[in-house]
Amino acid sequence: MGEHSILEIAEALQSGIPVEEITYVAGTVFKSHDIGRVYEPLILPDFEQVQTDKKAYADSFAIQYRNTDPFTARSLAESYGNRGYVIQNPPAQPLTEMEMDDVYDLPYTGQYHPMYQKDGGIPALKEIKFSLTSNRGCFGSCNFCALTFHQGRILQTRSHESILKEAVRMTEDPDFKGYIHDVGGPTADFRHPSCKKQLTKGVCQNRQCLFPSPCKNLTVDHKDYLKLLRKVRNIPKVKKVFVRSGIRFDYLMADPDKTFLNELVKYHVSGQLRVAPEHVSDEVLKYMGKPKHAVYEGFLKEYEKANARTGKQQYAVPYFMSSHPGCTMKEAVKLAEYVRDLALRQNRFRIFIRPLQLFQLVCTIQRSILLQVRRSTCLRILMKKRSREL
């Protein structure tokens, strides 16, 4: 994100450095005619090439994808001919816990800008007004998700004290009815980096933390998140604390301690728990970077057991994705039949619409290609123009 970059730019301007000389700040991009100003940059295919050559476009994406980690990334340069270069510095370092606390301790109003008053405000604010952000980043690294690019794979968290302070402030709002809608982030049950080495050496370039199965170095522990939820629900005036930003069920299944699952079911589900298996075909899930369908089925059984132990009748609401480029008509029919048998409503679906991530590349190229964006993941994907199938 941009906090470190903003402060460094502000300090540089305050010290009198001309704005055109502030080209060294991590997490920023600048234009230059002199490529020599950058130390050992990686040269991307030029702009003219990526406009017309799909292979060059794929190569450019692969280089960018492998350079999103602040510890290992290098500067990237793309030529625009006689207009010079666009140069991207490596990402900024992740925020420490204290820095995250400082960001959330700023005097935000918690309201929409007055300019929207004439339009009746912003309805979406109601969904998040009484929600608490506990983390930033995600080491799930799904192939269809853009989080790697704008939040990174290294988890950054706020302290319990910071979150509790905000929660208490929420209870003093005249509109507060006793319900905190969420305590989470991109993935609710991530509360620390996936392994200790990430904080000094960065994330692995050639492997994932959870896919195709949890890494042997993965730290699976819900204790800190569990303690946080207990503290929040014990705040005076708080009737109920929900978890709505999504649970990574494969990470939960990797935890042999079921205390978190039991308390999640008992205290933090409003009747329906949102989870995102995304598909039922293992072939499609492989392209998505998601666990096999059997992992989701195993989670459902554990979820049902936890509900039985607490005497509750609650449901897991799955979210699925249609029109994924790794899905043929065969897999689409398989998903449709699964949904039909569960009698799910259509609003539980998301249509793949190509955000900035790996499978945008596949959609754009629309032909058989060999993707080696991740050294350990080479996927041969047949892309055909099949409008009637989608």
pLDDT for 238-254, tens place per residue? 999 999 988 999 999 99
Q: What is the mean pLDDT of residues 67-78?
A: 94
pLDDT of residue 285 exceeding 80: yes
Q: What is the mean pLDDT of residues 110-114?
A: 91
Please report, for the domain that includes residue 231, its CATH number. Answer: 3.80.30.20
Q: What is the mean pLDDT of residues 363-375?
A: 44
- pLDDT at 86 (0 to 100): 97
Q: What is the mean pLDDT of residues 8-28?
A: 96
Identify whether residues 66 and 177 lie together within a single domain: no
C-alpha span between 232 and 29 (Å, rounded): 40
- pLDDT at 29 (0 to 100): 96
With residues binned 3-state (H G I as helix, E B as strand, rest as coil), the percentages for the chain, rounded to 5, are 40, 15, 45
- CA 106 remoteness from chain centre: 24
pLDDT of residue 362 exceeding 60: no
Does 325 or 135 have the greater pLDDT score?
A: 135
Rg value, the chain, Cα: 23
- pLDDT at 145 (0 to 100): 84
pLDDT of residue 100 exceeding 70: yes
Identify whether residues 59 and 103 lie together within a single domain: no
pLDDT of residue 222 exceeding 90: yes
Instruction: Single out the residue in 55, 88, 121 at which a domain terminates.
Output: 88
Identify whether residues 172 and 47 lie together within a single domain: no
CB atoms within 10 A of CB 322: 16
C-alpha span between 156 and 158 (Å, rounded): 7
- pLDDT at 377 (0 to 100): 37
pLDDT more than 90, % of the chain: 66
Q: Strand pairing of 369-374 and 131-133?
A: unpaired
* Residues belonging to the chain: 390
- pLDDT at 55 (0 to 100): 86
pLDDT of residue 384 exceeding 60: no
Q: Which of 257, 126, 248, 273 lies closest to 185 in space, CA to CA?
A: 248
- pLDDT at 360 (0 to 100): 57
Q: What is the mean pLDDT of residues 73-91?
A: 96
Question: Residues 6 or more apart from 386 whose CB is under 8 A from it?
Answer: 328, 329
Peptide bond into 325 cis (omega under 30): no
Identify whether residues 22 and 130 lie together within a single domain: no
How far CA 362 is from CA of 46, 243, 271, 330, 331, in Å, comes to: 20, 34, 38, 19, 18
- pLDDT at 146 (0 to 100): 82
User: Which stretch, 62-71, 86-95, 206-215, 368-377, has highest mean pLDDT?
Assistant: 86-95
- CA 350 remoteness from chain centre: 16
Local confidence band at 379 (pLDDT 50, 70, 90 cut-offs): very low
157-193 confidence digits (pLDDT tens): 999 999 999 999 999 999 999 999 999 999 999 999 9
- Asked if 136 and 100 touch (Cβ cutoff 8 Å), the reply is yes
Q: Which of 256, 297, 254 lies closest to 275 in space, CA to CA?
A: 297
C-alpha span between 296 and 364 (Å, rounded): 30
- pLDDT at 141 (0 to 100): 81
Domain ranges, residue 237? 97-389
Identify whether residues 84 and 233 lie together within a single domain: no
pLDDT of residue 370 exceeding 50: no
Q: Which of 243, 121, 128 lies closest to 182 in space, CA to CA?
A: 243
Instruction: Single out the residue in 53, 88, 123 at which a domain terminates.
Output: 88
CB atoms within 10 A of CB 285: 23
CB atoms within 10 A of CB 29: 12
Identify whether residues 151 and 183 lie together within a single domain: yes
C-alpha span between 79 and 34 (Å, rounded): 11
Q: How crowded is the C-beta side of 258, counted as CA atoms within 13 Å?
A: 12
Question: What is the amino acid identity at position 193?
Answer: P
Q: Which of 227, 243, 105 lies closest to 166 in space, CA to CA?
A: 105
- pLDDT at 76 (0 to 100): 97
Identify whether residues 309 and 352 lie together within a single domain: yes
Q: What is the mean pLDDT of residues 222-231?
A: 98
Question: What is the amino acid identity at position 345?
Answer: R
Identify whether residues 69 and 142 lie together within a single domain: no
Q: What is the mean pLDDT of residues 277-296?
A: 94
Instruction: Single out the residue in 88, 113, 131 at which a domain terminates.
Output: 88
- pLDDT at 346 (0 to 100): 52
Identify whether residues 342 and 381 lie together within a single domain: yes
Question: What total of structural domains would you count in the chain?
Answer: 2
The residues pairing with 272 across neighbouring beta strands, listed in sequence order, are 315
Identify whether residues 251 and 379 lie together within a single domain: yes
pLDDT of residue 390 exceeding 80: no
- pLDDT at 359 (0 to 100): 56
pLDDT more than 70, % of the chain: 88
- pLDDT at 369 (0 to 100): 41
- Of the listed ranges 145-154, 176-185, 228-237, the one predicted with least confidence: 145-154
Torsion angle of C-alpha atoms 249, 279, 285, 365, degrees rounded to 10? -130
Question: Residues 6 or more apart from 92 whose CB is under 8 A from it?
Answer: 1, 2, 3, 4, 5, 26, 27, 70
Q: What is the mean pLDDT of residues 259-266?
A: 97
Mean pLDDT across the chain, nearest whole number? 87
Identify whether residues 77 and 19 lie together within a single domain: yes
- pLDDT at 371 (0 to 100): 43
Identify whether residues 47 and 79 lie together within a single domain: yes
291-331 confidence digits (pLDDT tens): 999 999 999 999 999 999 999 999 998 888 887 878 889 99
Q: What is the mean pLDDT of residues 136-141?
A: 91
- pLDDT at 126 (0 to 100): 87
pLDDT of residue 278 exceeding 80: yes
